[in-house]
């Protein structure tokens, strides 16, 4: 199915026309390659990228947290008020701390946490994911991670790669919003927002809500 600017605007009412236009051609050319073609698959995909990208507004992760937010969101890494204060409003330092020694990243001093922070429409994160995505889509994202922000097709393709790698078409066919969210988020953060995007998609794409 061909996505239209007006449909995406209906599904993501807070998305700007410029941001919709930025991704529209890439969405229409890339989604079919990953068999994201049925109305229900497209609806679930749009719901997830709608949430992850802030209605297509954000191309990369916002890590500009206050000390209070660090203690709330990343309490495991900032269990001391003094440490949280030292890192507050320093996105690069925050990324290097919270993403250190996992997802293929090196230690905090390596800079991998910042280098491979969340980017693209599904917020691809971590050196291992960047590596796997690079091999799958034929782009050197390890050397040029900025491509996820500067090239709409790369951003869309990375999201489709992640979608395919987690076998999310099958879950979309089953209308499993919670399961899809867990595969993308690791939990159910933002589930209400994702559900709102999905319900609008079903409404404007005339998908039976009982599917």
Question: For 120, left (φ over 0), alpha (ψ -120 to 50), or beta?
Answer: left
| pLDDT of amino acid 46 | 98
- Beta-carbon-side half-sphere exposure of residue 128 (alpha carbons within 13 Å): 8
Residues comprising the chain, all counted: 211
Residue of 161, 188, 63 lying closest to 115 (CA atoms): 63
Among 32, 27, 30, smallest CA distance to 7 is for 27
Angle at which helix 191-204 crosses helix 39-52, to 10 degrees, equals 140
| CA 66 – CA 83 distance, rounded (Å) | 12
Q: Residue 119 pairs with which residues in a beta bridge?
A: 60, 124
Cβ distance 44 to 205 under 8 Å?
no
pLDDT score recorded for residue 210: 59
Chunked in runs of 10, what are the mean pLDDT values of the chain (211 residues)?
A: 96 98 98 98 98 96 96 94 97 98 98 97 95 97 97 97 97 98 92 98 89 49
Q: What is the DSSP letter of 38?
A: S
Residue-range domains of the chain with CATH: 5-57+152-204 (1.10.530.10), 67-115 (no CATH)
CA dist 59 to 27, 53, 101, 124, Å? 15, 7, 24, 10
pTM of the model: 0.92
Query: Element (H or E) spanning 86, and its range?
Result: helix 81-87
């Amino acid at each position: 199915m061909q996505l239209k600017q007006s449909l995406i605007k209906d599904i993501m009412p807070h998305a700007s026309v410029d941001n919709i236009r930025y991704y529209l051609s890439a969405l229409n050319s890339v989604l079919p390659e990953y068999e994201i073609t049925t109305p229900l698959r497209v609806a679930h995909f749009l719901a997830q990228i709608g949430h992850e990208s802030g209605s297509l507004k954000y191309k990369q992760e916002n890590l500009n947290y206050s000390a209070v937010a660090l203690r709330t969101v990343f309490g495991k890494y900032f269990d001391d008020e003094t440490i949280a204060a030292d890192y507050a409003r320093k996105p690069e330092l925050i990324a290097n701390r919270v993403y250190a020694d996992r997802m293929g990243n090196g230690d905090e001093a390596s800079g991998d946490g910042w280098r491979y922070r969340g980017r693209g429409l599904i917020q691809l994160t971590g050196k291992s994911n960047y590596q796997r995505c690079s091999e799958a889509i034929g782009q050197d994202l390890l050397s040029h991670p900025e491509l996820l922000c500067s090239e709409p097709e790369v951003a869309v393709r990375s999201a489709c790669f992640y979608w395919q790698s987690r076998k999310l078409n099958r879950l979309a066919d089953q209308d499993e919003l919670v399961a899809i969210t867990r595969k993308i988020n690791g939990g159910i953060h933002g589930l209400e927002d994702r559900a709102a995007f999905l319900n609008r998609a079903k409404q404007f794409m005339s998908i039976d809500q009982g599917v």
